[in-house]
A and B are shown apart, each in its own frame.
Chain A
C-alpha cells in the first residue's frame, strides 16, 4: 500500500506542521500511540473559561469566531480523549492558574472580568508561557498551557465548518488541478 496517500499525509503534515505543532499532538494526528490514561472531567466553569479564551484567540472579525464555531466542545473532547493524563492535568492546572491570576490582578474571576481585563490576563499568560518555554528548552516538560490552548483553539476553529468554509475557503470537489496560478488578492488559505 504505500505511499503517497498515507505518505502524503505524513509528509505533507510534516511540511504543513513543520516545527510548529507539539510532538504529542503531531503523534496524535499521525495516530501514534502515546499513552493510556484516566481522563480528567472538565467542570462547567472550566468549559466556560475555555469558551472565552478560545474566542479571545480566534475572535469574530469579518467572519464568526471560536464561540460561534463551538470550539470549546472540540477542545474539551480532544483533551479528554487524546491527551495523556499528564498533559490533561497540565492543561487544566494552567486554565485554573489563568483564572486565579485574573482574580489577583483585576479582583475578578476570568468569567466576571471585562474584555480588556481578560485580554490582559491572557497576554500575561502568553508571556509567562514564553518564559516557561525558554526555561524548559532542551528539557522534557509539558507544553505551556497558553500554547496548548492556542493550538487547540486554532485547530478546532479552522477545521470547523465555520472556520473552514467562512474564514478559509473550502472546495469539497475541486474537479481540476492547477499547480501554479496567480494568487488573487482576495484569495483565502485553502481549508485543506
Chain B
C-alpha cells in the first residue's frame, strides 16, 4: 500500500512538458524558474551539450563520403533521403524512416529529430516577429478564423525571450516586420551592400537587410551567465555548437532549468496519451512508453504543456481519446488535425556580379540577407492575398566553378585556388493559407513499432500559393536585374508541404471553442490545465520564420499557467 503511494508520489510533478525542442525547452525553463517541479519528456535520445556534438569536431575531410548519402542510407531512409537536411553529417540527429512511419495521401516531407533538444539543434535560427498585419490578416481577408491575440499581447514576450536568447539583426522600423531587441547585426558582403542600395533605390518600399538570427554576434551578461560565448563564424551550427553561440535547448533553456534543481528530464520517453479525469474535467497526467524497453509508465501533474512540434503534438492529442473526447483530446470543434500549413519556398533567382574582384571576406557567416515582405502592404494589391520574404545572400564562386570547363592539369588546378566571381541569390519564403481540408489524421489500422497509430498527411498548396509563386520568381529576377547582376537564372524547384519544416496549425488558437482547439492563452478550451505552445497553435503562418513566435507564446503561456495555479483556477 505504502509502496504504491510512494510510487505515485515519485511519478507526480507540478508540471509535465512533452518535448524538449524550441517550445518544450522554453516551457521547462519558465516553469522551473517559477518554482514548479517539472518533468520534461522527450522521445529522442539524450544529446549532451558540447560533449554530444560529435560531428562538429570533424573537419570536412573526416567525412567518409564528403557528406553524400550512401545507397544503404537511401534504403533505410527512403523518405528523409528525398531532401537535403538528412545527410552523412547530420544523420544521427534524425529518426530512421522505419521508426517514423507515416502515410501520404499527398506528398508531405516530415522531418523528425530523434534527440533531446529536437530541431532546436538543427534549425536555421532565422528569427522574426510577427506583426499586426499577420495577426489581423484572417479577419480582414475573411479566411479561416481570427487570431485571438494581437501584437500588443505578444510584444513584451518577444522582448522577454529575445533578451535571453540573443537575436542579432538590424532595426528597420517597418510595420510589417517589427524590430526585435537586437544584438549588433552581422556584416554584409560588399556585393550585398551595393545590391541593397540599388534595390532600395529602384523599388521604394522594398528593403534588404542582414538576416535576423539567433546567433550571438556579441555575448551579453544573460548569455555569458549560462556558459554561452559569441559566434566563432564556423557555420557548422546544425551539427551542434560547442560554444553555445546559437539558440538551442541545450545551450539556452535546459541549463537554466537544470540549475533550479526542479527539472527531471527523461529521454527515450514517448508520450502516447494524455489521461483525462472526467470528474475534474482536467488532464491528470500522461502515459509514457520507454522507446527502448517499451515499458509503460504514468506520470501526473497539475499542468501539462504539449510541445512535441506540430504534427507530433496533434498526433498525441488525436490519440488521447476518452468518453469525453471521442475524436481526440480537446477536439470539440472538429478542427484538430485540420488547417495544416507550411511555408512554400525553393523558388527565386541568382546572378553573377561583375566587380569587387579585389574584395574578399574573412570567416563563415552563419546567416544570410533578408528582404522583408512588401507585397499586399499599403497600396500594393495583387491577385493573391498575403505575401513573401526573401532569404539569400552573396558569395564568391569557389573551386567547383571549373568542373565543366575543357581543362585539366596544373593551370586548371592553380586557377581554382583563386576565388571566382561574386554571385548573389534570392530565395522566396511564402505564406500559406489555412485550408480546413489540408489535414493530418491517424490511421488506427496501422501501428508503428511502439503500437501507436500512424499519421496520414493530406495537404497541398493551392491557387493562392501558385499565384504568389509567380511574383516570387519574377520579383527576384527583376531585383537582381535592377541591381546590375548578369547571367541571372530564375528557378522554381517545386515545393511540397513539410519541406520548409515550418509545419503549423492543426490545433489552432481562437476565441470560439466551436471553431478552435485552444484559447488565446494557449489553453485547450475544454481542459484548461493543458497548454499547447508549439507550431500546432498557429492560426496563420505569416511569411516569416516561426520559431521565435513559439518561444514567445510559450513564455507567455507558462507565466499565465503559474498565475492561474496560484489563483487556484487550474
Contact = CB atoms under 8 A, between A and B. Distances in A.
Interface of A: 1-12, 14-21, 28-37, 39, 56-59, 61-63, 65, 74, 77-78, 81-82, 119, 122, 126-127, 130, 147, 150-151, 154-156, 158-161, 164, 167-168, 170-183, 187-192
Interface string B110-132: 01000000010011111000000
B570 to A, nearest CB: 32
B553 to A, nearest CB: 17
B408 A31 contact: no
B178 interface: no
B87 to A, nearest CB: 4
A4 B361 contact: no
B388 interface: no
B237 A180 contact: no
A168 to B, nearest CB: 6
B335 to A, nearest CB: 25
A121 to B, nearest CB: 12
Given A17-B400, A179-B365, A59 B413 contact: yes
B566 to A, nearest CB: 35
Given A151-B404, A177-B233, A181-B359, 11 more contacts: A2-B545, A4-B126, A5-B123, A6-B84, A8-B366, A15-B397, A15-B425, A62-B414, A171-B363, A180-B189, A183-B359
B65 A78 contact: yes
Nearest to A8: B368
Among B68, B234, B345, the most chain A Cβ lie within 10 Å of the Cβ of: B68
B66 A32 contact: no
A15 B485 CA distance: 13
A92 B271 CA distance: 51
B399 A168 contact: yes
Interface stretch (B27-35, B74-82, B157-165, B324-332): B74-82
A138 to B, nearest CB: 16
B192 to A, nearest CB: 7
A156 B401 CA distance: 15
B400 A6 contact: no
A174 B233 contact: yes
Contact of B412 (A4, A8, A57): A57
B233 A32 contact: no
Interface stretch (B56-64, B139-147, B440-448, B515-523): B56-64
Nearest to B500: A2
B416 A177 contact: no
Among B189, B343, B410, the most chain A Cβ lie within 10 Å of the Cβ of: B410
B149 interface: no
Interface string B237-258: 1100000000000000000000
A16 B350 contact: no
Interface in B349-395: 350, 357-368, 391-393, 395
B187 A29 contact: no
B398 interface: yes
Contacts of A150: 403-404, 408
Contacts of A122: 408
Given A11-B427, A82-B70, A6 B189 contact: no
A12 to B, nearest CB: 6
B300 to A, nearest CB: 32
A158 B366 contact: no
How many of chain B's residues touch chain A, expressed as a range?
Answer: 35 or more
A188 B68 contact: no
B368 A11 contact: yes
B232 interface: yes
A189 B417 contact: yes
Contacts of A168: 399, 417
Contacts of B427: 7, 10-11
Given A11-B425, A82-B71, A1 B122 contact: yes
B462 to A, nearest CB: 22
B69 interface: yes
Contact of A180 (B361, B366, B501): B361
Among B66, B126, B399, the most chain A Cβ lie within 10 Å of the Cβ of: B399
Nearest to A38: B71
Contacts of A61: 410, 413-414
A62 B417 CA distance: 11
A63 to B, nearest CB: 8
Contact of A174 (B187, B234, B547): B234
A187 B360 contact: yes
B171 to A, nearest CB: 19
A28 B403 contact: no
A14 B350 contact: yes
A178 B123 contact: no
B489 A178 contact: no
A18 B423 contact: yes
Contact of B124 (A4, A15, A18, A172): A4
Given A5-B366, A7-B427, A183-B419, A59 B403 contact: no
7 contacts: A4-B125, A21-B403, A36-B71, A63-B417, A159-B66, A176-B233, A183-B358
A81 B64 CA distance: 11
Nearest to A17: B400
A192 B89 CA distance: 15
A96 B211 CA distance: 50
Given A164-B61, A177-B362, A180-B359, A4 B367 contact: yes
Interface in B45-103: 59-61, 64-72, 74-75, 78, 81-87
A78 B399 CA distance: 19
A54 to B, nearest CB: 10
Given A154-B402, A176-B362, A32 B83 contact: yes
Contacts of B232: 173-175
Contact of A4 (B211, B233, B234): B211
B44 to A, nearest CB: 14
A83 to B, nearest CB: 9
B124 A6 contact: yes
Contacts of B59: 161, 164, 170, 172
Given A18-B350, A18-B423, A172-B234, A5 B190 contact: no
B192 A179 contact: yes
Contacts of A180: 187-190, 193, 359, 361
Contacts of A77: 64-65
B502 interface: yes
The 10 A-B residue pairs with the shortest CB-CB distance in the complex, in nearest-first order? A3-B124, A174-B363, A30-B84, A177-B363, A1-B123, A180-B190, A179-B187, A81-B70, A1-B119, A33-B81
B406 A126 contact: yes
A5 B234 contact: no
Among A17, A21, A33, the most chain B Cβ lie within 10 Å of the Cβ of: A33
Nearest to B121: A1
A40 B360 CA distance: 43
